[in-house]
Amino acid sequence: MTGKHSFLLSAITLSLAACGSHSPEHNQAASTQIKTEEARQIAEDAYVYGYSLLTTEITRVQMSNVAKTEGLHAPMGQFLNIKRYPPAEQRAVSAPNADTLYSINWLDLSEPQVFSHPDMGKRLYLFPFTDLWMTDFHTPGARTTGGKAANYLVTGPGWRGTVPPGMSQIKADTRYVVILGRTYANGSEKDYKAVNALQDQYKVTPLSAWGKPYTYQAPPVNPNPGFSMTDAPQKVILDMGTEGYFNKLAALMCKDAPPAAIDAPLLARMATIGLEPCKPFELSKLDPAVQSAIKNLPQDALTLIGNNKQTMGRMANGWIVTKGLGVYGTDYMKRAVVAAFGWPANLQEDAVYPNTEVDSDGQKLNGAHKYTLTFAKGQTPPVIGFWSITMYEVDKGWWFTPNALNKFTVSPRDNLKYNADGSLTLYFQHDSPGKSKQANWLPAPKGDFVPMLRMYWPDPATPSVLNDTWIPPKIVKVE
C-alpha cells in the first residue's frame, strides 16, 4: 500500500511538471484526472483501513445484541462458554478447534469491568483481549501470568479512576472489547467436566458492584441495529455501500474507537475527501468523476483484500506459516485480510497455525490417496504448551471430517507410537492404516483436505517456528 502511494505521488509530480508543454484545456483535463485518481486511491486506502473496525463492530452486535445466552450468542458482559468440542456436522464456524473450549465475553467499558478467573493450576489457558480495531492488546494466560486466580480491572479510553487493591489494570483503547478465552481440554468426559467447572467461575463484574451483592442483568436489546443480525459480516459491509460504510467508520472513530496516533498521516489524507471522525460523509459533495470512480468501491476493495490473502504467510515445505498477527501497526492491509478471512487472530507468542493443501510434489491433498508425515527424532513441533494436527475437509469452508472414531485431531494425547529410531510417523488417509498404527492416524475425507498444525505457546528457543529455525516436514504421498 505504501509503495503504491509513493508511485502515485511520483506520477503526479511528473505529470504536473509536464503541464507547461500543453494547452490550458489539456492541463485542466490532466489535473482533473490526477485529482480523481488520487481521491480514488485515498478512498480505497480508507476502506481497507476501516475494514477491521467495521467487521469487529458488526460481529459484536450480532453476537451480543440478544436477550439471553444461546448458541454462539450472549448479552454484553455475560460469558458464553462452549462446553464441548463442536460435532462433525457443525457448519457455523469454519476451521473449528478440538483442543480448547471457548469462553467469549463482549465488554462495554463505558464503565470499568472486573474480569475474574479461578486458579487454573497447570492447565494451559489464555484470555486474549481484542479491541474494536482487532488489536490483541493484552493476554492473561498460562504463558504470561501463570495459573493463579486473578482479578483484572479493564478500563476504557480516558478512564482516570483508582485501581482497587489486588487488581491488575488492563487499559483498552476502544469502548468495546471482546475476551476470546481458550481453555485446554483433552476431549474426555471427565476433563470436559473439570474445564466446565472452571468456566463457570469466569466472571465479569462492573466496578461499581465490586465487593457488593451483584446479580447480572442483560442490557436491553436494540430492535433496530441498522444492519442484518444474521448475514455474514462481509455481506453486511458490502450492503452498506460506499457512503454507508464511510459514515459508519466516521461515527465509530468519533468516540467508541478513537484512531491511534500512528494513523495520523492516513487520517490527514482521508480528510481531503471529506472523511473525518465525528463528521457525516456525503458522497454527493465529491466531484462527479470521483463519485463515479468509487461507485463500486466496496466490491473492489474486498477483491483487493482477497487478492492479498496469498501474501499473508511464508511457504515452507508446502506449509503456509503465518506470523505477526494480533498487532498490526500501520499494516492496514494485513489487518483487513485477517478481518475478512480469519477474524480475529492470536499473537504468535500464544499460537501459530501452519496449514497445507499440498503434498511433497505440490499436488492437492485428497482422500483418494494415503499420506505420511514424519518428524525426525527430537524434531516434533517445539512448544511449551501443546501441539496437535486437525483434519479439515474443504467444502466452502474448512470443516471437521465425520469418521467412525469421531477423531478430528492427532496429538501426543493419543499416546502416539514412535518408530524404532525415535522418529514419529503420522498417517493421513481415509481408511484405517491398521490397529497398530491407529493412534497415529488422522482420518481424512474422501475428497480434498487441509491439515492444520496448531502450536500453542511455541517455544521461542531455537529451533523455533517463531524465528523460522523449525518448519513442519513435507507430507509424502505413499499410495
**Residue ranges matching CATH 2.60.120.600 in the chain:** 313-478
413: pLDDT strictly greater than 90 = yes
Please identify which residue in the block is written with the cell numbers 436491553. Answer: 220
20: pLDDT strictly greater than 50 = no
92: confidence class by pLDDT, cuts 50, 70, 90: confident
pLDDT of residue 14: 29
Cell, residue 473? 516436514
3-state helix, strand, coil in the chain (%, to 5): 30, 20, 45
Q: Express each pLDDT in 201-224 by its tens digit.
A: 999 999 999 999 999 999 999 999
pLDDT of residue 48: 98
Q: Express each pLDDT in 123-167 by its tens digit.
A: 999 999 999 999 999 999 999 999 999 999 999 999 999 999 999
104: pLDDT strictly greater than 70 = yes
Residues β-bridged to residue 399: 393
- Give CA–CA dist 471/381, Å, rounded: 8
26: confidence class by pLDDT, cuts 50, 70, 90: very low
CB 77 within 8 A of CB 108: yes
DSSP calls for 428-444: EESS---GGGGGGEEE-
Most distant CA atoms of the chain, gap in Å: 84
pLDDT of residue 11: 31
pLDDT of residue 33: 58
CB 91 within 8 A of CB 234: no
Kindly indicate whether the domain formed by 80-209 is annotated with CATH number 1.10.150.530: no
Fold of 313-478: Jelly Rolls (2.60.120)
The 3-state secondary structure of 298-331, one letter per residue: HHHHHHHHHHHHHHCCEEECCEEECCCCCCCCCC
179: pLDDT strictly greater than 50 = yes
4: pLDDT strictly greater than 80 = no
Q: Find, among 350, 312, 318, 315, the residue nearest to 334 by Cα.
A: 312
As a whole number, mean pLDDT of residues 317-336 equals 97
pLDDT of residue 21: 43
**Residue ranges matching CATH 1.10.3360 in the chain:** 30-67+228-309
Mean pLDDT (the chain) is 92
User: CB within 8 A of 29, min separation 6: which ones?
Assistant: none
297: confidence class by pLDDT, cuts 50, 70, 90: very high
pLDDT of residue 34: 61
pLDDT of residue 63: 97
- 57 phi, psi to nearest 5 deg: -65, -45
pLDDT of residue 16: 28
410: pLDDT strictly greater than 50 = yes
As a whole number, mean pLDDT of residues 428-449 equals 97
When the candidates are 1.10.10, 1.10.3360, 1.20.1050, 1.10.287, the CATH number that belongs to 30-67+228-309 is 1.10.3360
Integer angstrom CA distances of residue 180 from 37, 43, 312, 394: 41, 32, 22, 25
CB 272 within 8 A of CB 297: no
As a whole number, mean pLDDT of residues 43-50 equals 98
Cα of 211 vs its chain's centroid, Å:
35
- Other C-beta atoms closer than 10 Å to the C-beta of 328 total 20
CB 158 within 8 A of CB 209: no
Among the residue ranges 24-28, 168-172, 463-467, the one predicted with the least confidence is 24-28
pLDDT of residue 142: 98
15: pLDDT strictly greater than 60 = no
10: pLDDT strictly greater than 50 = no
As a whole number, mean pLDDT of residues 244-252 equals 98
Percent of the chain scoring above 70 in pLDDT:
93
Please identify which residue in the block is written with the cell numbers 490527514. Answer: 268
pLDDT of residue 474: 98
Tell me the whole-structure pTM to 2 decimals. 0.90
CB 349 within 8 A of CB 456: no
DSSP label of 263 = G
DSSP label of 175 = S
Q: Express each pLDDT in 251-267 by its tens digit.
A: 999 999 999 999 999 99
**Residue ranges matching CATH 2.60.40.1610 in the chain:** 80-209
290: pLDDT strictly greater than 80 = yes
Q: Find, among 333, 332, 326, the residue nearest to 349 by Cα.
A: 326
29: confidence class by pLDDT, cuts 50, 70, 90: very low
User: CB within 8 A of 101, min separation 6: which ones?
Assistant: 81, 82, 83, 84, 85, 182, 183, 185, 192, 195, 196, 199
